[in-house]
Structure 1
């Protein structure tokens, strides 16, 4: 069976663009903090979700709904409500990280397929077996800390599907544990669905034309005149430590694993996932079309790595990485 191509949808229009460009599945979230991309102007109302599911199903595509932040005490009804909205819309699966939300979904919607979010950070056979046994999870989105060899070893010991990220922005490599943003802004992806909220972001032109990016008033990076200025997130800030100026946590580069599709399929990966619900229609259409072409080429016995350079200009600063798949950083 061919690798499934899973693409992001930050809006109904983006969902349609992804499917028309060749996505097998799209993933999206509702317009609240129950999903980890809760930015203004993004996401779906319950009615939009239901309409989009019907549209996608008519074209043979699947819709996966992310309810992948962690429920807060006293507000759990919101997460249950998102699961209910997804179930009522007829989605093909919900992507969940929180144990309580998983338990509710299995109890209230026994026929609803459950996928384990990358936020759950399940990267061992024992952890994955726990989720499969206790909640009936059918697919695990793999943490972005595993090499291709480690994924292959993992697949020999588990009995569920796996989904691996292959393109887009990278986060600090400790899935489900991002707290840096909350220190600066009071909001973080895992609790409120927002990393570096736009209202906290500023760019200031300095003397001589240099540019400084700030998050909640904290200077995160300074760019030379004409140097591309990325979106300021704490994990990708440039700091001076012991006299050396560097990206302390992670360089602002993008994942591009199109050249590793052959190895990922050989390892046993079920689906490959593109990051970027906060991007636009043109982005998702182009990335989906390129990966569609790469997967089809792979199925014909070709080498998808020949397409690796086709998306380089979409990377942050034009710089790409194979991430942990190669583990050159260890």
Structure 2
């Protein structure tokens, strides 16, 4: 019998938190309603009252809660990030997810009892960086960026005692997390500091008789026919004209799905598998959590005999970005 990795699920708001807990999450992750949170969308996230309720609900059902404080503090505003860490400690979360080295230092020194996870936004892609963060700040888990192959993930787990968390399902990012400058180039606001790839104040939708156009700070990102599903405008997933041809020049919308390689992840002793999607609906959270719960439990019981279910893939296909799935960087057969 192998040790089951934690299933870590998104809690973009209180209803999403509750359905994640009810559908089998071991852990949920949340953020506050401010720029300390890398999913700082209007209408999402938690204030102190709703966070208190959500944490109590999760803990009552033996589910852990993580607080994402995963943007980078700005000069003159560091008190906001300090306050967020203080609030997380006061709320009694099970860990905070941090990217900024200064905030890791603050949390380590000010709240020595508080468990620290290095965010994917911290962009630690090798075990040397992870071990350094452990030596300096005592981190207990790292979330790996979605740019490593399975063999590279295995090398990380072999050379560090820090718990390793990997993404298992959700929207992919073509960039190395924590290093993207595309939105900053277009809007002047970086996703690493303001919390979202496409701040809502810069988003515009234009309806014409034939098309729906989406713009970010007046730059045309995409246009959709009347029967075509329209995605939220982000630079990396827009369609652009390149040498007289219009296509997804950077990245076609698609979702990561690791169900087929769960036995490999379990055998390499990955500590947690994370579902992306705090900006998605509670229905998305419920469906993905339930499928991943079933899949992980079966894979742990018999990794060698594990077979995926057609039903799992059908359910996940309905909530996949772009209605398609991939193993992403995990699978690079040419290397």
TM-score (normalised: structure 2): 0.94
Number of the residue aligned with 2:323:
318
Quote how far apart the aligned CAs of 1:11 are: 1.1
* Bigger shift: residues 252-261 or 69-78: 252-261
Alignment partners' CA distance in 2, 1:305 and 1:180: 37
Distance 1:67 1:213, change over 3 A: same
Name which of 128, 131, 139 aligns with 1:129: 131
Contact kept? 1:46, 1:86, Cα under 8 Å: no
Name which of 131, 142, 145 aligns with 2:144: 142
How big is each residue's C-alpha offset from its partner over 1:13-38, in whole Å with a ceiling of 9 and x where there is no partner? Answer: 21111000100000000110001001
Alignment partners' CA distance in 2, 1:252 and 1:61: 31
Over aligned residue pairs, what C-alpha RMSD do you find?
1.6
Number of the residue aligned with 1:187:
189
Gaps of at least 5 residues in structure 2 are none
Number of the residue aligned with 1:232:
233
Number of the residue aligned with 2:299:
298
Alignment partners' CA distance in 2, 1:75 and 1:318: 40
Number of the residue aligned with 2:16:
14
TM-score (normalised: structure 1): 0.95
Quote how far apart the aligned CAs of 1:225 are: 4.2
Name which of 27, 38, 41 aligns with 1:39: 41
Number of the residue aligned with 1:216:
217
Query: Secondary structure at the residue paired with 1:313?
Result: helix
Number of the residue aligned with 1:72:
74
Distance 1:53 1:205, change over 3 A: closer
Alignment partners' CA distance in 1, 2:78 and 2:131: 26
How big is each residue's C-alpha offset from its partner over 1:95-125, in whole Å with a ceiling of 9 and x where there is no partner? Answer: 0000000000001100100000000110111
* Bigger shift: residues 253-262 or 99-108: 253-262
Number of the residue aligned with 1:178:
180
Number of the residue aligned with 1:257:
258
How big is each residue's C-alpha offset from its partner over 1:150-188, in whole Å with a ceiling of 9 and x where there is no partner? Answer: 111221111110111111111222110122112222323
Number of the residue aligned with 2:113:
111
Distance 1:326 1:309, change over 3 A: farther
Query: Secondary structure at the residue paired with 1:14?
Result: helix
Quote how far apart the aligned CAs of 1:266 are: 1.6
